[in-house]
């Protein structure tokens, strides 16, 4: 997802998303946000960069799991928790590898793990 006016990836009200590979860049608010009880985003091998507010935000019971991800260049904070949880296993961007063949994002917002122009996701 490139150049979204709002959040790059956002789940709330108990929704769950898994994103494997790709990049979330230039979000107008948060790069990735999980809000509300039982809401969860799992990112694997994703680069989150240049978000206007927070790179990753977990609040009001939401959870974000980062595995082999890089978060950088956020306007305010790279990671923000407010009554939410962020768990991570961080590697340097040069160490992140593409997902194995056959793996794809399971969240529609991820657009199949590819970078996309504009605010709308592609299947």
Q: Is pLDDT of 96 > 70?
A: no
Q: Is pLDDT of 103 > 80?
A: no
Cα–Cα distance, 77 to 56 (Å, whole number): 8
- What are the CA-CA distances from residue 25 to residues 81, 102, 118 (Å)? 20, 24, 11
- What are the CA-CA distances from residue 42 to residues 46, 85, 87, 90, 118 (Å)? 10, 12, 9, 13, 22
Q: Is pLDDT of 64 > 90?
A: yes
Confidence class for position 120, pLDDT limits 50, 70, 90: very low
Q: Is pLDDT of 9 > 80?
A: yes
pLDDT tens-place string over residues 33-54: 999 999 999 999 999 999 999 9
Looking at every residue in the chain, the average pLDDT score rounds to 77
pLDDT for 108 equals 32
Cα–Cα distance, 78 to 113 (Å, whole number): 21
Pairing verdict, β 16-25 and 40-49? parallel
- What are the CA-CA distances from residue 78 to residues 12, 47, 52, 100, 118 (Å)? 20, 12, 10, 27, 22
* Residues 85, 59 contacting (CB under 8 angstroms): no
Reference 48, options 21, 69, 75; nearest CA is 69
Q: Which residue has the higher pLDDT, 113 or 15?
A: 15
């Amino acid at each position: 997802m490139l150049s979204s006016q709002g959040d790059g990836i956002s789940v709330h009200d108990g929704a769950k998303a898994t994103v494997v590979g790709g990049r979330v860049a230039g979000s107008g608010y948060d790069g990735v946000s999980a809000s509300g009880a039982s809401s969860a985003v799992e990112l694997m091998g994703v680069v989150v960069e240049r978000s206007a507010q927070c790179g990753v935000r977990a609040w009001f019971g939401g959870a974000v799991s980062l595995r082999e991800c890089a978060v950088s260049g956020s306007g305010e904070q790279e990671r923000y928790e407010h009554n939410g949880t962020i768990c991570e296993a961080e590697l340097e961007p040069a160490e992140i590898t593409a997902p194995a063949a056959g793996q794809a994002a399971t969240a529609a917002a991820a657009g199949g793990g590819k970078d996309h122009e504009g605010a709308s996701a592609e299947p």
